[in-house]
């Protein structure tokens, strides 16, 4: 029983970080229905940004998170303005193609600059706390992952309030539901898409900054997270920010329970199998509205 509870606790913490990786995609893909295969590359850029600022200026990732979020917001807006705005006029499949090109470009650009070596952030606040544990009964909870998870939760809640409770969020939703009708009431769709790309990119970069405390920083770091993020958004249901959080927690728990009881090699396979199983009963995802 302790093993099980421990696995659930570990899974929930990982799930919070997955939620932060996935929520950017929940905006770009889930809400605005645009496909972005380069999602993980923005996360990787966030990781490299955190590593670079830590090595060169000695900034802790918890500080560099803020300027990096601002820079990556700009990068996301730029990607939309220069590339995706044109691509959007074609078939939706073209978005796959364009963002695969972006993936090649960004990933190999980083390879060219920094090589494919693994890098680690040393001496940051969270890595120095790595020995610290909280004990709840028999369950041990590592402090660094807990702090990371709580930051993720805070960002997540702020975003949920922004999307679901403000006029701006309503405008975003209106744009995705009916572009022409949104224009009629004075919303400028291209600006909304640009903001969505900026927000999505900034959020996943922040996720990368936090993850850089726990995982190796290297140019190919994004892919496995991207695939999981897509499954999480679909599992949560389209257009539901809260659904993404729930799905991410579920994915974290399924992974760690599988790894604890069955085979660690199959932990992602079980996540995807549960996606298919749940999909058979709820084709619109757990909290999807359409």
Partner 1 sequence: MALLYPIPFERSGYVYYETVGFLVLLNAMLGIGWNVIGGWAGQFDFGPNIFFAIGAYTAALLFIHLGWTAWLGLLGAVVVSVVICAALTYPITRLRGHYFAIATVAMWMIAQPIGATWELINGSRGLFIPVAAGNGFVHGMLTMEFAGRGKGLGFYYLALLLFAATLLGARVVERSKWGFYFRAVRDDQEGAEGIGIDSRLCKVVARCLMAAVFAAGGVLYGFWALAVFPDQVLEVNWNVLPMMAVVVGGLGRLWGPVLGAVILIPISQLMTATLGAGPLAGRGIDLIIYGAVIMLIAGGRPNGLLSLPWARWAARLRGRGPAQPAGG
Q: Is the Cα torsion angle 170, 173, 177, 180 positive or negative in sign?
A: positive
Which pair of structure tokens corresponds to residue 248? 């991410």
Residue 262 interacting with partner 1 (CB under 8 A): no
Among the residue ranges 146-154, 164-172, 175-183, 274-282, the one whose residues contact partner 1 (CB under 8 A): 274-282
**Measured from the CB of residue 98, what is the shortest distance to partner 1 in angstroms?**
4
Judged by CB, which is closer to partner 1: 74, or 109? 109
C-alpha to C-alpha distance for 180 and 184, rounded to whole angstroms: 6
Question: Nearer Cβ to partner 1, position 76 or 148?
Answer: 76
Q: Does 106 bind partner 1 (CB under 8 A)?
A: yes
Give Cα 280 to chain centroid, integer Å: 25
Interaction residues for partner 1, span 44-83 (CB under 8 A): 82-83
Q: Does 96 bind partner 1 (CB under 8 A)?
A: yes
Nearer to partner 1, 86 or 191 (CB): 86
Count CB-CB contacts under 10 A for residue 71: 16
Asked if 98 is part of the footprint of partner 1 (rule: CB under 8 A), the reply reads yes
Query: Nearest to residue 61, comparing CAs of 197, 205, 202?
Result: 205
- Counting contacts by CB under 8 A, is residue 173 touching partner 1? no
Query: In the complex, what is the shortest distance from the CB of residue 152 to partner 1, in angstroms, rounded to a whole number?
Result: 22
Q: In sequence order, what are the residues at sequence separation of 6 or more whose Cβ sits closer than 8 angstroms to the Cβ of residue 157?
A: none
Q: In the set 4, 86, 154, 158, which binds partner 1 (CB under 8 A)? A: 86
Cα dist. 168→14, 81, 163, 198 in Å? 30, 20, 7, 14
**E strand or H helix that includes residue 191:** helix 189-211
Confirm or reject binding of residue 101 to partner 1 (CB under 8 A).
yes
**Sites for partner 1 among residues 10-49 (CB under 8 A):** 29, 33
């Amino acid at each position: 029983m302790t093993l099980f509870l421990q696995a659930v606790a570990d899974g929930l913490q990982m799930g919070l970080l997955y939620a932060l990786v996935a929520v950017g995609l929940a905006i770009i893909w889930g809400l605005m229905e645009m496909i972005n295969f380069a999602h993980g590359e923005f996360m990787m850029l966030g990781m490299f940004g955190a590593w670079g600022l830590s090595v060169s200026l000695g900034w802790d990732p918890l500080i560099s998170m803020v300027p990096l979020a601002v820079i990556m917001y700009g990068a996301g807006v730029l990607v939309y303005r220069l590339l995706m705005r044109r691509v959007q006029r074609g078939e939706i499949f073209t978005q796959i193609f364009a963002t695969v090109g972006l993936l090649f470009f960004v990933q190999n650009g980083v390879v060219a600059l920094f090589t494919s070596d693994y890098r680690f952030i040393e001496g940051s606040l969270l890595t120095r706390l790595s020995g610290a544990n909280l004990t709840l009964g028999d369950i041990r909870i590592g402090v660094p992952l807990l702090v990371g998870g709580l930051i993720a939760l805070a960002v997540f809640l702020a975003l949920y309030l922004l999307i679901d409770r403000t006029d701006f969020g309503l405008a975003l939703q209106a744009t995705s539901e009916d572009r022409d009708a949104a224009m009629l009431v004075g919303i400028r769709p291209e600006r909304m898409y640009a903001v969505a790309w900026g927000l999505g990119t900034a959020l996943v970069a922040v996720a990368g900054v936090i993850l850089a405390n726990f995982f190796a920083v290297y140019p190919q770091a994004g892919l496995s997270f991207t695939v999981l993020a897509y499954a999480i958004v679909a599992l949560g249901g389209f257009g539901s920010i809260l659904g993404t959080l729930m799905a991410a927690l579920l994915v974290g728990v399924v992974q760690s329970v599988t790894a604890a009881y069955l085979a660690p090699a199959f932990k992602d396979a079980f996540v995807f199998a549960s996606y298919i199983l749940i999909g058979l009963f709820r084709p619109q995802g757990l909290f999807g509205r359409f």
